[in-house]
Chain A
């Protein structure tokens, strides 16, 4: 039987090959076929997830909520020391120095990344800004968000902090961080679907010892992850409750 794996589309392009290495590594560990499917956008992936196409998902926190509560998935691991934080940045030459300097009518560049967009909008609340009094422009990638800021086509942009940090030095030197979230407890997780539940013990064994050998460590490095940490159901539920408080 071949299982299906997918990855939240918000990883940096440099790590695409890393996920293919991981898929090969995982098939050897479990001695079973696994097909990896990657997506450019969140909506198309979410449609396929809803159609029960996947058994293994490295999901962003927003999708993890849907996977656990609606589709019976189980979160078993999270990347160590890696939480999802959001950055609001402006052009380095901008006269805007704090979030509160942004005014109604501001042009905000974002992506379809649900966590980053939600957190970005929350951080605008202190300026009395929301979707009704801003111009939200959705772009296909964080590089395009950055280009909009550099060209003066947007007043502020939302970035996943990891993605912001991985932009080139040249691009980052032309932008300025207005605010960076410090939430710590919201992060990606590795989830297993109901049809693959018998493989959970073997998966846990493989993932939690992965960083202990050269081969596994090399694969982790190519994915931008140092090691996997266990997640139990209460940790998952806590994160989902927290995400729920952020969605109106």
Chain B
């Protein structure tokens, strides 16, 4: 858990790139990433979740039924700048692997940090979706990312 957590609850409207938005409660409380686990999910080319492993279900707080069929951006935390996700999509749409540190939003409003890797799934030369694997980040990388994203968010 971060030393900076206040437990404060705030209501925010999160706007997504496709023009939709949702209003939800955000809790300033970190859920620690579990040791030894990998969070694995797959999406179709549009970002709709098609597979979620147990670690993903546990950490996100959603059930498997809730996750399958919705857009991966349901996990987007309002503290994450849009430019970070633009970098992700620009990279994977070129067919290359993307690495980055991401603050994810849980169903209960709390958050968890991950080191994420996303790769395009190519079958017979055709893009069929993306695989995202998340692992435990170091505290120093989380601190660097917090500072960077705060600056980027202020510029948006």
Contacts and interface: CB of A to CB of B under 8 A. Distances in A.
Interface string A92-132: 00000011100000000000000000000011011110000
Interface residues of A, number: 24
Given A125-B135, A242-B40, A244-B97, A185 B53 contact: yes
Given A125-B115, A179-B35, A238 B131 contact: yes
A128 B139 CA distance: 8
Interface stretch (B7-15, B72-80, B103-111, B116-124): B116-124
A237 B127 CA distance: 13
Contact of B117 (A127, A185, A238, A245): A245
Interface string B34-49: 0111101010000000
A126 B36 contact: no
Contacts of A4: none
Contact of A127 (B38, B99, B118, B138): B138
Contact of A237 (B36, B123, B135): B123
A245 B132 CA distance: 8
Question: Which of under 10, 10 to 19, 20 to 34, or 35 or more describes the interface residues of B?
Answer: 20 to 34
B135 to A, nearest CB: 6
B20 interface: no
A179 B34 CA distance: 10
Contact of A125 (B40, B132, B136): B136
Interface in B23-61: 33, 35-38, 40, 42, 53-55
Contacts of A165: none
A122 B38 CA distance: 10
A182 interface: yes
A181 B135 CA distance: 11
Interface string B82-125: 00000000000000010100000000000000010111010100
B20 to A, nearest CB: 28
A200 interface: no
Contacts of B97: 244-245
Given A126-B137, A238-B42, A245-B131, A179 B36 contact: yes
B6 interface: no
Contact of B136 (A126, A180, A242, A245): A126
A242 B131 contact: yes
B140 interface: yes
Interface in A210-248: 237-238, 241-242, 244-246, 248
Contacts of A242: 38, 40, 131, 133
Given A122-B135, A245-B119, A245-B133, A128 B140 contact: yes
A203 B73 CA distance: 44
A181 B53 CA distance: 14
Q: Which 5 A-B pairs have the closest CB atoms?
A: A245-B133, A245-B117, A126-B136, A241-B131, A181-B36
Given A125-B136, A246-B117, 9 more contacts: A125-B115, A125-B135, A128-B140, A182-B37, A182-B55, A184-B54, A242-B133, A245-B118, A248-B99
Interface of B: 33, 35-38, 40, 42, 53-55, 97, 99, 115, 117-119, 121, 123, 131-133, 135-141
